[in-house]
């Protein structure tokens, strides 16, 4: 048996019947608080953060799950998640970054990236509805930190838009 690396994703049975909530956020049909935007993906605040600064890294293309995405997309999402995580650890004074791919609630690939202060922070049961002011404060802190870390070209000019500069 040969060890082959594939770059193509498995073919989905059919395209999604309707846009996911994440596709609608990216399209501006639902408000979002964006910390990152590039040609492949965006990162925005979850409305139920487990810790302040918790974001979702989401491909612009609606791909249902981790195993449906092509290798290049997965690699890109991983790099963006690492960059955001490094900034989160610094600006939220976290012990470690938390990264999780779950995808049970929304059929659109997304990576949870959150600053961890203790191991229990990664538990989904820690998620709590956050008010707008708290989300705004956490996202502005993260956005400023990403600029300080040299990623300003990927921080959208307006927090409410994933538009590229």
Global pTM exceeds 0.95? no
Q: What is the mean pLDDT of the chain?
A: 91
The secondary structure of residue 116, as a DSSP letter, is: E
Residues 59-69, mean pLDDT to the nearest whole number = 97
For 103-113, the pLDDT digits (tens) are 889 999 999 99
Residue 14 pLDDT greater than 90, yes or no: no
CATH class, range 21-153? alpha beta
Catalytic residue among 54, 110, 112, 117: 110
**Is 110 one of the annotated active-site residues of the chain?**
yes
Structural domain boundaries in the chain: 21-153
Contact 133/107 with Cβ under 8 angstroms? no
């Amino acid at each position: 048996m040969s060890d082959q690396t594939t770059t193509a994703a498995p073919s989905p049975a059919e395209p999604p019947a309707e846009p996911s909530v994440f596709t609608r956020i990216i399209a501006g049909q639902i408000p979002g608080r964006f910390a990152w935007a590039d040609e492949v993906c965006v990162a925005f605040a979850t409305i139920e953060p487990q810790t302040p600064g918790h974001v979702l890294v989401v491909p612009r293309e609606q791909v249902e799950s981790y195993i449906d995405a092509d290798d290049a997309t997965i690699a890109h999402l991983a790099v963006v998640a690492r960059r955001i995580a490094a900034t989160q650890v610094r600006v939220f004074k976290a012990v470690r970054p938390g990264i999780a791919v779950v995808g049970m609630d929304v059929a659109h690939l997304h990576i949870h990236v959150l600053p961890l202060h203790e191991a229990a922070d990664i538990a989904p049961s820690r998620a709590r509805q956050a008010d707008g002011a708290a989300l705004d404060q956490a996202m502005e802190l993260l956005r400023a930190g990403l600029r300080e870390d040299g990623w300003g070209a990927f921080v959208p000019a307006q927090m409410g838009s994933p538009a590229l500069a």
